[in-house]
Chain A
Amino acid sequence: MRIFDPHIHMTSRTTDDYEAMFSVGVRALVEPAFWLGQPRTSVASFTDYFDSLIGWERFRAAQFGIRHHCTIALNPKEANDPRCREVLDVLPRYLAKDGVVAVGEVGYDSMTPEEDAVLAKQLALAIEHELPALVHTPHRDKLAGTRRTLDVVDESGLPPGRVLIDHLNEPTVAVVADSGCWMGFSIYPDTKMDEQRMVAILREYGTDRMIVNSAADWGRSDPLKTYKTGLAMLEAGFDESDVDKVLWQNPVEFYGQGDRLVLDELPGFTASGETFAGNSVLRGGGA
């Protein structure tokens, strides 16, 4: 099984996770810029975070044979804080970078006027930078939020084929399927979706425009949920090509719409799990 995890927050994960992911077939991933649990209070902490997504985290993933990409945006939750909104001014610098495959995560949290403005502005940035957009749907009032999101997307002029609406579930999948946007599902241990429900949705809606991710972060989550969904698909009678389509081809097609994906094998990488100087990551600390 070759796996592209299209949504996972590796900044919050350990090297054990990278090793486990590689061992089940994860070879590429996308880390969307999001909030970090602790609210930020200045633009500088955003830029340090973005730098880490295009620098250190990419380098760290490469140590484990995994191609790391990211999406860059001001997330909806922090869009409500005027101290953070100025980050919109530095986004163009980051949206020009290698490995930045989309604008995201954008979308709604509490559906405030500030969130409206910031979402519209960032969809315009996606058009300007010829990138797709990754749109997060809210945890609360989800169906209404999803509908409103689709309206804003429609108004933005960004073609639906360049938009991935994420964190969908049974009540929200139908409207997105009708819109022509890509459908993203986050498979979680307790909340959001699970493997069996995901398989049922794939049976009902087919595999076109379907994208499955682990969305693993600092909360209760599991970076192997993509792999486990693949297993559940096989058990349910899907064949290997269906699994490959959902877990590899679809995310590659979606994120490949910019020209920023790099999927060739990492030079000199061997899966032996070699460490350097007894360190699991080249960090130059005490050996």
Chain B
Amino acid sequence: MTTFHLGYGTNGFANHRLDDALRLIADLGYTAVALTIDHHHLDPYGEHVRAETDRVAGLLGRLGLRCVVETGARFLLDPTRKHHPTLVCDEPERRIDFLCRAVRIAAELDADCVSFWSGIRPSTVDPEVAWQRMRTGVASVLAEATARGVRLGLEPEPGMFVERLADALRLHTDLDAPEPLGITLDVGHCVAVEPMNAAACIREAAGLLVNVQLDDMRPGVHEHLEFGEGELNLPATLAALTEVGYSGIAAVELPRHSHAAPTVAARAIGALRAALVPDPAQRAEEREVEWVTQVDHPWLVDAERRVRADPGTIATLFPAVGRKVGRAALRPESDQQGLVHGTVDDLARTRLLTVLAEVLDGDTLAEEVSRLYRYGDDAERRGVLRGLPALPATIAQTGLEIVKDALRANDIRLVAGAMGEFAARNLDAHTWRHGVLKCLFVGVPLAAVADLDRRADSELLRMVADYAQERRAAGRDVPADAERLLEVRS
């Protein structure tokens, strides 16, 4: 049982009428909504804002949706500058006024809170000055919030002045911990910029959490992704919310997926439900994962010891891994076949390779790795491919030969394993592009391709566009990953 309410953000339905969006969200089984007030969704500057607010409150009540009010509208205050003005710019008055309007709307909607961020600090504004502006601005909005009995959720946002959870907590302390001021936490941001994982951030913020945004992300990249496409451990994150007794709204935040909103929202709730109520088989798989990663599976520990004592034993231990520690996908809720995140046996084989690299050097190591791949079955070959990033640079040439061999294969697990970090770092542009195209071609999710954002170039986009054209000419569907790649980049 969850203590919190699953919701979806209306900024992910930007191409829908608000009423349609709310109905779709409720129909999919969400019990909450994160309402981004915007020029087309309950415009706070609209002529009939009070009547409209009443009407939306009625609709939310009929649909059984709780709500939070989000204030991240892009061009509501300034049609030419995204998010402008902010609390930290030279003239923050209009932002403060907007936030106060949001507070009044939230009071009438009986929303859990108004969520807001600091904005990007202009390079001309000193950090000290920005900090003062935050203090003053938040204090003004707090006055309105206190008067209306509405809570505020300050959201750390990558690239903004208040960027990390620690910054937000410091401001909270600096303002003498005013009662209405809480924290909005986007769990994807945790993956992107926080020094700890989302579950740890949730525990850190615990008592101050008034709003949670759910999405996936990759480390260092502020791009809101569907669950399973990034590095977020969704089950552990949701378990942490339950653990800290969070009782507010946790709403999916996918503002760049409006073009396919109903499908994306359906997929999201499926992933959330799977992550919340793992079936017994999944729990067993999770235990297997734990054995390998944390508790240390006794067979693996012994195997590591044997390889350390006699590196030759890896020839018989490497094939036995699956039988001994299991073969389950590491993140079955979003990656059933382990194409993106790998499997328990992949992880165990990486550990054996790591030990092998400690005891063998240079050419000897390269030769053994090459033999393990050459005589490996499908799982062992995948284990070698996924272990390559853990090996020293001296095996780079051998690694390249192995990756190129795997990219000639038609087993999708080998193709997926080949396009990991090692390929991202070492593969020449031509081979790498063909690897990406092959992934699209055989159905490997592009989430399996490491560093896609950094390495994708115009030639790759041309190839993907031609491929999409060829599919259309034949009257066939274009893989969603191909469309997304072309869309994000165009």
Co-assembled chains A and B: yes
Q: How far is the CA of A189 from the CA of B316 in the complex (A)?
A: 41
Known: A268-B336, A277-B476, A284-B442. Is A97-B377 also a contact (CB below 8 A)? yes
Q: Identify the closest chain B residue to A258 (Cβ).
A: B323
- Seen from chain B, the residues whose Cβ lies within 8 Å of a Cβ on chain A are 315-316, 319-320, 322-323, 329, 336-337, 375, 377-381, 409-413, 438, 441-443, 470-471, 474, 476
Min CB distance, A18 to chain B, in Å? 16
**7 A-B contacts (beta carbon < 8 Å):** A47-B375, A51-B377, A54-B377, A56-B410, A59-B411, A96-B315, A287-B474
CB of A2 closer than 8 Å to a CB of B = no
| B443→A276 contact, CB < 8 A | yes
CB-defined interface of A31-75 with B at 8 Å, one 1/0 digit per residue?
000000000000000010001001110110000000000000000
Of the residues A59, A94, A99, A287, contact of B471 by C-beta under 8 Å: A287
Contacts of B381 in A (CB 8 A): 55
Which chain A residues border B323 with CB–CB below 8 Å? 98, 259-260
CB of B411, distance to nearest CB on chain A (Å): 5
A267 to B322, CA, bound (A): 16
A97 B319 Cβ-Cβ under 8 A: yes
Interface centre among A97, A282, A283 (most CB of B within 10 A): A97
On chain B, the residues within 8 Å of A259 by CB distance are 323
Q: Per a CB cutoff under 8 Å, which of B329, B377, B441, B476 touches A284?
A: B441
* Shortest beta-carbon distance from B163 to chain A in Å: 40
B379 and A98 form a contact (CB under 8 A): yes
| Contact A282-B378, Cβ < 8 Å, known A260-B323, A277-B476 | no
> What residue in chain A is nearest B415 (Cβ atoms)?
A284
CA distance A287 to B466 in the complex (A): 14
The one of A92, A98, A283, A287 in contact with B377, judged by C-beta atoms closer than 8 angstroms, is A98
The answer to whether residues A287 and B441 also contact, given A54-B377, A56-B410, A98-B379 and a CB cut-off of 8 A, is yes
Q: Chain B contacts of A58 at CB under 8 A?
A: 377-378
Contact A282/B442 with A56-B410, A97-B319, A287-B471 known, Cβ cut-off 8 Å = yes
Interface of B is mostly: helix
Known pairs A55-B381, A98-B322, A284-B441; A267 contacts B337 (CB<8 A): yes
Q: Which residue of B lies closest to A56 (CB)?
A: B411
A138 to chain B, nearest CB (A): 31
Answer yes or no: A278 CB below 8 A from chain B CBs.
Answer: yes
Besides A96-B316, A282-B411, 14 new A-B residue pairs in contact (Cβ under 8 A), listed by A number? A47-B375, A51-B377, A56-B411, A59-B378, A97-B319, A97-B377, A99-B377, A267-B337, A276-B443, A277-B476, A278-B476, A283-B410, A287-B474, A287-B476
Given that A267-B336, A284-B410, A284-B442 are known contacts, is A96 also in contact with B474, CB under 8 Å in the complex?
A: no
Q: Which residues of chain A are near B476, meaning CB under 8 Å?
A: 277-278, 287
Check A93 against B410 for contact (C-beta < 8 Å).
Answer: no
The interface residues of chain A lying within 8 Å CB-to-CB of B441 are 277, 284, 287
In the assembled complex, the CB of B267 is this many whole angstroms from the nearest CB of chain A, namely 16
| A177-193 contacts to B (CB < 8 Å) | none
Contact of B319 among A98, A268, A277 (CB under 8 A): A98
Interface string of A20-37 (1 = CB under 8 A from B): 000000000000000000
For B411, the closest partner residue in chain A by CB is: A59
CB distance from B10 to the nearest CB of A (A): 33
**When chains A and B are docked, how far (Å) is the Cα of A97 from the Cα of B446?**
30
